[in-house]
Chain A
Amino acid sequence: KNEVEQSPQNLTAQEGEFITINCSYSVGISALHWLQQHPGGGIVSLFMLSSGKKKHGRLIATINIQEKHSSLHITASHPRDSAVYICAVPPGGSRLTFGEGTQLTVNP
């Protein structure tokens, strides 16, 4: 079993819809990362959080440490949000372990 599991693997939405991507992990962690990878391949860091909730524009990330679960929400989705969203955790030492990613497609 992977240390980090994401769901769904693929998600198609209509413009304007509310999107939720989930991440569950099996190890104790000090922080959790949400990353975005656009079709061109580049990866950018969206959030790093260790408790509670963070918001940046239309993106919201939450984490529940007790349940070992995090969610990434996108409000009022737009075609430019189409990308792969990746969850990552440091499982111990200074390593980093990634989920397989969620391919999001937002249609106009």
Chain B
Amino acid sequence: EAQVTQNPRYLITVTGKKLTVTCSQNMNHEYMSWYRQDPGLGLRQIYYSMNVEVTDKGDVPEGYKVSRKEKRNFPLILESPSPNQTSLYFCASSRTGSNQPQHFGDGTRLSIL
């Protein structure tokens, strides 16, 4: 089954403790992206990747890192999480870019205390 898998689905952690949210897709998609969703602000793009070793900033990249060492994986790293990064995070992929149908993961709800 074609899917985008995020882990963990839920995480409560404390300020400053490094964490990684994993994202994996099994569709051989070139484009992958991370978004955060906050009430009143909607979805906002954090980072995206056009292919292996090619990443670029979205609208809200501060406080986040990403890497794309393999085509199927695109982890989101919070090196020193802060409470303002408490949010619902989505990973998505598409065949070649943002002008292709997007496939979303189920979301990761992060709470930073």
Residue B33, interface by CB 8 Å: yes
Main secondary structure on B side of the interface with A:
strand
Q: How far is the CB of A42 from chain B (nearest CB, A)?
A: 5
Q: Are B97 and A98 in contact (CB under 8 A)?
A: no
Q: Are B90 and A98 in contact (CB under 8 A)?
A: no
Main secondary structure on A side of the interface with B:
loop
The CA of A84 and the CA of B48, in the complex, are separated in Å by 24
Contact of A100 among B40, B56, B100 (CB under 8 A): B40
Given A90-B98, A96-B98, A100-B42, A41–B107 Cβ distance below 8 Å? yes
Residue A43, interface by CB 8 Å: yes
Total interface residues on B, using CB and 8 Å? 27
The CA of A101 and the CA of B35, in the complex, are separated in Å by 15
Residue A48, interface by CB 8 Å: yes
The CA of A33 and the CA of B103, in the complex, are separated in Å by 12
Given A41-B106, A43-B104, A44-B104, A93–B56 Cβ distance below 8 Å? yes
Q: Are A43 and B90 in contact (CB under 8 A)?
A: yes
Give A41's nearest chain B residue, CB to CB.
Answer: B107
Chain A residue contacts of B99, Cβ below 8 A: 30-31, 48, 50, 90
The CA of A30 and the CA of B94, in the complex, are separated in Å by 15
Residue A64, interface by CB 8 Å: no
B interface residues (Cβ-Cβ under 8 A, vs A) = 31, 33, 35, 40-45, 48, 50, 56, 58-59, 88, 90, 92, 97-104, 106-107
